[in-house]
Structure 1
């Protein structure tokens, strides 16, 4: 990352300052000079900007019962929204539902995938309000099979500095039985095209937990569950374009569906490390595990609480999002040991971090 020095500030100091600014400010800054424009488009600066706590927002998808509707078949309301205040002091939110009507996945580094079907998506960068219709993927299926579900990951290839979208399909045969082969394709942002990677032979019939995924330093991570409910972590290298399976931390594995579901593995990036938030004793206390040097170590324990909570995700340093037993979304500060009600209540929650992102999805020739 190179730019022209400004006054008494060094290049490194200017880059550090700029990496903390909102996307809208940086888009205006891009017009100052060519070096400023080049900096804002540099993939290394883009990921430096993504890693800053200054640029994260909270998105919530929630389903709740309509208290004014007596029709049992029309009594549920769902919405998707973002809380623009990074401190979560101001709890007014921006409604995403008009844009995100229908099935959506993400956000991955500030980008939502709006799904038309399993192989056809629209990329939407929320902060830049940019869209791209991705060409439909034409993956090759074995005879007499069809796509049953899809899983995605998005990240930077550190070798080529190109952003990639990886697609993994789950197939079923004519008798609607899942088969042990998954076609895989990769979409390159610069070429605006898919490449068929063939696929991988699954040792187990994995179930992806798509709400618990993460990207860090060229690797995308998914939590997957085998038929015996044993959990593992599937990785994909954006540079090598290969899959690997890694073990999780040394925590109990529960080989029945109920106990496994009650102790979800919440992946996230915490203090610039791949981390896992885990419920130690059915939602009364929690552990944070970090991967450093290729091995897991326990970093933090908080609780026990009198009330039952379920982990919903990482927030800023020392803060975690939990769901109470009466379906309230709360923020727990492990440093000050304080619990704060965020004023959101519903039957089901999906909570994700939205990073203000400079990743452009608009094609250069558009």
Structure 2
């Protein structure tokens, strides 16, 4: 078979299948292992296959599994962890171009002595990022985002306890170091906004700002290509839905999930807003019944799901955005929808 035809066929396959397909014949392995094909597949992945990965933390370190099969199993000594028990759970960010960013603790860590971990599960690669050193500041409370330009980037928002303000840092793979970004540090971090944007060009956070006695809520958006922040004003009625999870369906389209406050009422109202300019206004889409019974599992055939975390209930709800229904609820922070890539660390 002509190599051009073979390449075109292989571009439609997910990474997990390609890694198995390498064993079929020498010509297939040569194409798949070539830097040209892997770069082409990374930037033009035509597969729609998404799988569910489970990431857990134990005394042995970080474990990444797919259908109970171990993809990455690190040890606490190699990660520089002295006591895994002191961290309540792993926090997952991504996946972007097949990469997952992992930090340990709650949404806010009490200190930054534990490194951020980047991994590519299907390639079995894991990397610890260097710690941020700031002689003039005492940093704590981190929130992480992973993005992609010509290569992967990691952004960290941290609170300086000494000056009571936020700082933003971006990690560069070429220098293997962090540098500070220009940032409106009068904002206070509320929570990161998870995303289904697999190209990773934007990262978002829900923020607040205090002016006198008035509080305004905003979305902080980072353009990963240009490394420029912008703020998007949320509507005034957002205070009534302060705890509602916001999810980025794509780079400029947001969903808001208003979960019921009373248990007998089981419908979640879902709103949508497309960002045009510097303000968001929400449009009602639909109401969906939420599963209130015990924890379940995601059926293996599902590929169109997102994991919506509900901090107040300390659980995560799995939403099938094609079927417009919730599939199940799960322990928070342990699962991530994942689409592989050949991006190496």
The aligned runs of 1:214-293 (5 Å cut-off) are 215=197, 216=199, 218-226=201-209, 230-248=216-234, 252-254=237-239, 260-261=242-243, 263-265=244-246, 267-269=247-249, 274-279=253-258, 282=261, 284-291=267-274
Q: Under a length normalisation based on structure 2, what TM-score does the superposition of the two structures give? A: 0.65
- Return the offset for 1:164: 1.3
Match of 1:46 among 42, 45, 67: 42
Contact 2:267-2:288 at 8 Å conserved across structures: yes
Asked if 1:108 corresponds to 2:94, the answer is: yes
Question: Given that residues 57 and 82 in structure 1 are in contact (C-alpha distance below 8 angstroms), is that contact kept between their aligned partners in structure 2?
Answer: no
Using the TM superposition, give the Cα deviation of residue 113 of structure 1 relative to its aligned residue in structure 2, in angstroms. 2.7
Q: Is the 1:21–1:54 contact (alpha carbons within 8 Å) kept by the matching residues of 2?
A: no
Compared with structure 1, are the counterparts of its residues 24 and 321 closer, same or farther at alpha carbon in structure 2 (3 Å cutoff)? same
Rate the CA distance shift 1:349–1:106 in 2: closer, same or farther, 3 A. closer
| Count of residue pairs brought into register by the alignment | 307
Q: Secondary structure at the match of 2:49?
A: helix
Q: Aligned Cα RMSD in Å?
A: 4.8
Which of 196, 201, 212 lines up with 2:194 in the alignment?
212
Q: Which moved more, 1:101-110 or 1:299-308?
A: 299-308
Task: Assess, with a 3 A threshold, how the Cα gap between structure 1 residues 185 and 140 changes in structure 2: closer, same or farther.
Answer: farther
**SS of the counterpart of 2:237?**
coil
Partners of 1:111 and 1:357 within 8 A in 2: no
Deviations 1:10-42 (A, max 9, x none): 86x436413565463477699833685223542
Secondary structure of the corresponding residue to residue 344 of structure 2: coil
Offset, 1:83: 7.0
How far residue 167 of structure 1 moved from its aligned partner, in angstroms, is 2.1
Query: Is the 1:118–1:147 Cα contact (8 Å) retained in structure 2?
Result: no
Alignment of 1:126-205 (within 5 A): 126-139=121-134, 141=136, 145-157=137-149, 161-173=150-162, 179-180=164-165, 182-197=166-181, 199-204=182-187
| Residue ranges of structure 1 left out of the alignment (5+ in a row) | 63-78, 86-91, 310-314, 362-366
> What is the rounded CA distance, in whole Å, between the counterparts of 1:152 and 1:30 in structure 2?
41
- SS across alignment from 1:120: coil
More displaced 10-residue stretch of structure 1: 148-157 or 184-193 = 184-193
1:3-152 equivalences in 2 (<5 Å): 6=3, 9=5, 13-14=8-9, 16-19=11-14, 22=17, 24-25=19-20, 32-33=29-30, 36-42=33-39, 45-49=41-45, 52-59=47-54, 84=66, 101=84, 102=87, 104-109=90-95, 110-114=99-103, 117=112, 120-139=115-134, 141=136, 145-152=137-144
